[in-house]
Structure 1
Amino acid sequence: MTDAIQRRDFIRQAALATAGITGMPAVLANGSANEKLVVAIMGTNSRGSALCEGFAKLPGAEVAYVCDVDDKAMAKGLKAVQQGGQKTAPKGIKDFRRALDDKAVDVLVIAAPDHWHAPASILALKAGKHVYVEKPCSHNPREGEVLLDAARRHKKVVNMGNQRRSWPYVVEGIQAVKEGAIGRAYYAKAWYANTRQSIGKGKPAPIPAGLDYDLWQGPAPRKDYRDNLIHYNWHWFWHWGTGELLNNGTHFIDLCRWGLEVDYPTRVSSQGGRYAFDDDWETPDTQLTSWDFADRKSISWEGRSCNGRNVEGISGGVAFYGEKGTLVINGNGYTIYDNRNKELKKVSGDTTNQLNATGPGFDLDVDHLTNFREAVRQGKRPNSSIEEANKSVLLCHLGNIAHRTGRLLNCDPATGRIVNDPDAMKLWSRTYAPGWEPLV
């Protein structure tokens, strides 16, 4: 075995150790831990297609269903499975619930719009399936609470797709922060910059052929179809999406929280707005958010959806600041500086700095998917367990609530819940289409 392979295996084990992984009853429903993982994938227009290819390539896994409400997106998913080298063609279906009825299916993979993430996860858990859900794991804080309760009650693995939890040199960098490479770390800054264009003013339009718009809306109260919504712009509407803070910020805020070893904040504030264009975009394209924690620690976020000027030479990343220096996470790598800005150490991983709005490809998914497969097979908690993932997603939700209310939020550091602000707590949940309320 080469030194490089030994190093990679060591870092993978460190990922488990630093995440505090413990065993939990979550083996395959169908018997042996060595059996094939049978997967259904929901939502395959963009990120879901990458997951179709990734799970098709993953040894010991088979994609049995490709589920999408749009015929064109379904075709993308079916093609991606084929490109992944799977010999057996999966079934293409519009309603993912049909796949949940199949006892042979072990896992539901969810890459549908945000308003579907928690409700679909909960339905899958109730059907006895394990869940791989893309970030964010919820559309609002209450959904995260219900999803966590469902995972515990049904004793299944729920893993979120914040893949950096499994990137080997990110794991090494986070461990370095925890071990004092920059002294006591007290502040972490996260950022994401892109140059997105205007979505314009949408107009009522006929529903495209092949799209089941009613099922696309699913848990969300019904709204008429408009021509600037599907397939990506829903991110920027509160009704279905969660804005850039949860779209991309989830990845980086999670690393901040992980490295600083904090859970819930004491105070949250957020400033910004829709500045770049006058259009239908509702969520902020420019957002500055801060979280204060006990033990003299803070996290900040700078999101610029429409101005792609890099920070630290990269479009998205994290910097940890400590008593003795700074550690910057750059893709699957990191750099350490002393307090005079002298570079002390640089570790370069196997990624590039190029921006990919749909997330990492299979080369950087592989460790995360492998970890998920082994968590299901062996009954262990995955690197991005719902317990840890939900804490990071909640921070982002709190940032959006602070933005939408326009005021400082005080939070219970034991639970993350907002205190003494009934109006802000109105955004803790949402209204659902009749019959779609997520229940354990």
Structure 2
Amino acid sequence: MYRPNRRTALQHIAASSIAASITISGTKSSGQVIGANERVRVAIAGINGRGQIHMGVFGGMKNVEIAYLVDPDSRLFKPRSAAVEQRTGKRPTCVQDIRTALEDPSLDVVSIVTPNHWHALMTIWACQAGKDVYVEKPCSHNVAEGRRMVEAAQKYDRIVQHGTQWRSDPKWRNYTADIRNGKYGKLQTANIEIFRPRKSIGTKTPVKPPRELDYDLWVGPAPLHPYRTNLVHYQWHWIWDYGNGELGNLGSHEFEMARWAMPENAAPQSVVSMGGRYGYQDQGQTPNTQLTAYDFGEAKLICQQRGLDYDSPIRMAIEFHTDAGVIRGGKFFAKGKQAGEAIADAPADGLPENYARAHFQNFIDCVRSRKSADLNSDVLDGHQTAVLAHLGNISYRLGEEVPFGKQPADLIDNPLAYESFDGMKRHLVDVAGVDLSSASYRLGPTLQFDGQAEEFVASPAANQLLSGAYRTGYELPKITS
């Protein structure tokens, strides 16, 4: 249950059920419709990078107040609070621990922009405290966390929006609806490309954390690694205990759109992933080159991720291959035709920033109306999207190093997947100068997945990676009916 103070640890609460009822009943967003002129008070948790986008968007909304800025690194408090005050005329309260903000009964919303390993615990605590939640992608750090978040939102009747902004783009909505409905033929394969150069994080020796940073709190529920300057603030993305690699980072946006175009209720039945970290040697753990293939039964999904630091410019795109042709770059290329037919109002490829404001506004509108069904990307959507990233990473992490001369035995029986593997090899040769005759790649097992039970079939090792271990005081709460 939600701990109002990490030091007192519920000393003043006799029973967890009483704690939930007291906390939730003291919040004006606890099931009541908020009037258009009533102020919605927001706490933004995580204010180093993307948190500044949240500050800018919420700070520009009518009758929305940024009441708290939350971050374990107090060095950020002065400049960030000054920026909010300059924009809104009101200086927010700055705290290091989210639980301090959750004790405020007049707080309505928690906007979570923390490292991934904090997403689930902070969301559940906020739901238990009667707050609504906007949580950045990926929704969770592992599969079990995501399901627990869905359960918490349902039990405590909370509005929980997932931060995949393309969901609020009407062009994407119409585009994927047409694909799902068969306007361009029956969908066979969705092919995702995430080409985003990433520099090496280097190798750093452990040092003492800055006195202004509560590093133990920053680590929170995750295993405690020695503090390094290439871990905090951004490079945690490439460390398994805190991040989910590019598959969970930018991949979340494109997985969400691919799911939107899939047949209704489609779920992954198997996954296989492969790749490695090339071009430099550093302390990063996640792959900067990865190919992942999913079998959804009626349709297949392929995700190509490339992140060499000297790579080509950013490219984020999805091709949809149907039995009638290919949908690519806003055009439909019918089989047997060289020229593509332009699709009216097709969405542009690229980073999904254009509809950030609309996505936040959709969330605030639902906070006011209490209609979770009107969310453009609710916590269940976020969970189902994050599952795809988690499955791919689990296959990769269970893989073995094999020479490039060894072809993957089973790439979901899909010619496009094998073409993608050959493209990955050519890319490593042409861009990174990798000698494939002596190099290796990590080849993960093909894992069968039961989407209903959300567990792997006959793979104890893979099932063990569906959840995580939590440090004392930061255990993931159980959500009982």
Q: TM-score, normalised by structure 2?
A: 0.79
Residue 472 of structure 2: aligned partner: 434
The question of whether the paired residues in 2 share the 8 Å contact of 1:107 and 1:131 is answered with: yes
Q: Tell whether the 8 Å contact from 2:31 to 2:157 is kept in structure 1 after alignment.
A: no
Give, in whole Å, the separation in 2 of the partners of 1:119 and 1:365: 24
CA distance in 2, matches of 1:299, 1:268: 9
Deviations 1:20-54 (A, max 9, x none): xxxxxx99338443122211000010111101111
Q: Distance in 1 between matches of 2:77 and 2:291?
A: 37
Mark the CA change 1:379 to 1:423 in structure 2 (over 3 Å): closer, same or farther. Answer: same
The answer as to whether partners of 1:186 and 1:260 remain within 8 angstroms in 2 is no
Any idea what the Cα deviations from partners look like across 1:256-310, whole Å, max 9, x if unmatched? 111113542111000011122111110111110011012x210010111216756
Matching of residue 342 in structure 1 with residue 345 in structure 2: no
Q: How does 1:130-279 map to 2 (within 5 A)?
A: 130-261=132-263, 262-279=265-282
CA distance in 2, matches of 1:416, 1:291: 15
Aligned to 1:78: 81
Q: CA deviation at 1:348?
A: 5.8
Structure 2 Cα separation of the partners of residues 128 and 367 of structure 1: 24
1:318 aligns with 2:318: yes
Matched, 1:28 2:37: no
One-letter code of the match for 2:81?
A: L
2:462 matched residue in structure 1: 424
TM-score, normalised on structure 1? 0.86
Task: Give 3-state SS (helix, strand or coil) of 1:411's partner.
Answer: strand
8 Å CA contact 1:27, 1:377 repeated in 2: no
2:43–2:101 Cα contact (<8 Å) kept: yes
**Quick one: distance in 1 between partners of 2:461 and 2:357?**
43
Q: Select the residue among 375, 382, 394 that pairs with 1:389.
A: 382
1:342 Cα deviation from its structure 2 partner: 2.1
Rounded to whole Å, the distance in 2 between the matches of 1:395 and 1:122 is 22
Give 1:320's aligned amino acid. Answer: F
Taking the aligned partners of 2:327 and 2:76, their CA distance within structure 1 comes to: 40
Amino acid at match of 1:52: M
Structure 2: how far apart are the matches of 1:41 and 1:320?
Answer: 37
Q: CA deviation at 1:325?
A: 2.5
What's the % identity of the aligned pairs?
Answer: 35
CA distance in structure 1 between the aligned counterparts of 2:89 and 2:254, rounded to whole angstroms: 37
Deviation at 1:351, TM superposition (A): 7.3
> 84, 107, 117: which is aligned to 1:115?
117
Counterpart AA for 1:108:
V
Q: Which runs of 5+ in 2 are unaligned?
A: 1-26, 400-444
CA deviation digits over 1:373-399, x for unaligned, max 9?
112222222111111111110111010
Q: Shift of residue 315 of structure 1?
A: 0.8
Q: Measured at CA, do residues 62 and 192 of structure 1 come closer, stay the same or move farther in structure 2, by a change above 3 Å? A: same
Task: For residue 314 of structure 1, report the CA deviation from its aligned partner.
Answer: 6.1
CA distance in 2, matches of 1:350, 1:174: 10
Contact 1:27 1:378 in 2 (8 A): no
**2:332 aligned partner, one-letter code:** I
Provide the rounded CA distance (Å) in 1 between the counterparts of 2:288 and 2:275. 8
Quickly say closer, same or farther: Cα 1:187–1:176, change in 2 above 3 A. Answer: same
**CA deviation string 1:81-110 (max 9, x = no partner):** 346x31222111111111111111111000
Could you tell me whether the CA contact under 8 Å between 2:33 and 2:369 is conserved in 1?
A: no
Instruction: Look up the SS of the partner of 2:287 in the other structure.
Output: coil
1:63: Cα distance to partner?
0.9
- The amino acid that maps onto 1:424 is A
Find the residue that maps to 1:210 and give its secondary structure.
coil
Asked if the contact 2:177–2:260 (Cα under 8 Å) also holds between the matched residues in 1, the reply is no
Once superposed, what is the RMSD of the aligned Cα atoms?
2.2
Paired position in structure 2 for 1:11: none
Letter in 2 for 1:377: R
3-state SS of 1:428 partner: coil
| Gap runs ≥5 in structure 1 | 1-25
Q: Which residue does the alignment assign to 1:404?
A: 397
Q: Secondary structure at the match of 1:192?
A: strand
> Bigger radius of gyration, 1 or 2?
2
Higher mean displacement: 241-250 or 55-64: 55-64
Rounded Cα–Cα distance in structure 2 between residues aligned with 1:335 and 1:28: 45
Q: Secondary structure at the match of 2:283?
A: coil
Q: Deviations over 1:356-380 (max 9, x none)?
A: xxx62xx521110111111222222
Matched, 1:291 2:294: yes
Q: Which has the higher contact order (CA 8 A, sep 6+)?
A: 1
> What amino acid is aligned across from residue 302 of structure 1 in structure 2?
Q
Partner of 1:57: 60
Are the structure 2 counterparts of residues 335 and 309 from structure 1 closer, same or farther at C-alpha, using a change threshold of 3 Å? farther
Residue range with higher mean Cα deviation, 392-401 or 198-207: 198-207
Contact kept, 8 Å, 1:236 with 1:282, in 2: the verdict is yes
The reply to whether residue 68 of structure 1 matches residue 71 of structure 2 is yes
Aligned length: 401
User: How far apart are the structure 2 equivalents of 1:42 and 1:78?
Assistant: 13
Structure 1 residue 371 and structure 2 residue 362: aligned? yes
CA distance in 2, matches of 1:152, 1:253: 24
Please say if residues 45 and 69 of structure 2, whose CA atoms lie closer than 8 Å, have aligned partners that are also in contact: yes
Change (3 A) 1:48 1:201: same
Q: Distance in 2 between the 1:165 and 1:113 partners?
A: 22
